[in-house]
């Protein structure tokens, strides 16, 4: 999806097994400025998928507590990798509810719609 110059990849509840098929079929076409983390993190898409999308911003539809637990990298290692790929300042979680105004000025500047110190 493209809105006011920002490309957004909505992944929904896509699972790891879909990663290869999506990247093989669409290749660089999936590159996006903003990407929703699939399946709330957990066992969603793989690192290769997120590397292909190459987002500058992640929309993570889960709580701050879940993200903190997921980025420890023990059970869901891809979550830690994608979190580090964009950096904490570029991760927007859904707790509390956030409003994003498009177009989004990229690169992101640290602000109130980011969380800190989840480690």
pLDDT tens, residue by residue, 56-104: 889 988 888 888 888 886 677 888 888 888 877 788 888 777 777 777 7
The answer as to whether 112 is a domain residue is no
The answer as to whether 59 is a domain residue is yes
Confidence of residue 107 (pLDDT cuts 50, 70, 90): low
* Ranges of H-type helices in the chain: 16-26, 47-53, 64-70, 77-86
Q: Confirm whether pTM is higher than 0.85.
A: no
Contact 31, 7 (CB under 8 A): yes
DSSP state, residue 103: S
The answer as to whether 29 is a domain residue is yes
The answer as to whether 102 is a domain residue is no
- The tally of domains found in the chain comes to 1
Token pair for residue 84? 């580090």
The answer as to whether 111 is a domain residue is no
Residues of the domain holding 60: 2-93
Contact 59, 37 (CB under 8 A): yes
Across all residues in the chain, what is the average pLDDT?
Answer: 81
């Amino acid at each position: 999806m493209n809105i006011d110059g920002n490309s957004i990849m909505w992944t929904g509840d896509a699972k790891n097994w879909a990663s290869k098929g999506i990247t093989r079929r669409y290749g660089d076409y999936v590159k996006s400025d903003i990407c929703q983390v699939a399946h709330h993190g957990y066992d969603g898409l793989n690192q290769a998928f997120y590397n292909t999308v190459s987002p500058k911003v992640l929309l993570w539809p889960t709580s701050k507590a879940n993200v903190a637990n997921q980025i420890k990298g023990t059970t869901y290692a891809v979550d830690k990798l994608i979190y580090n790929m964009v950096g904490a300042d570029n991760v927007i979680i859904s707790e509390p509810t956030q409003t994003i105004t498009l177009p989004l000025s990229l690169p992101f500047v640290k602000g109130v719609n980011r969380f800190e110190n989840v480690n």
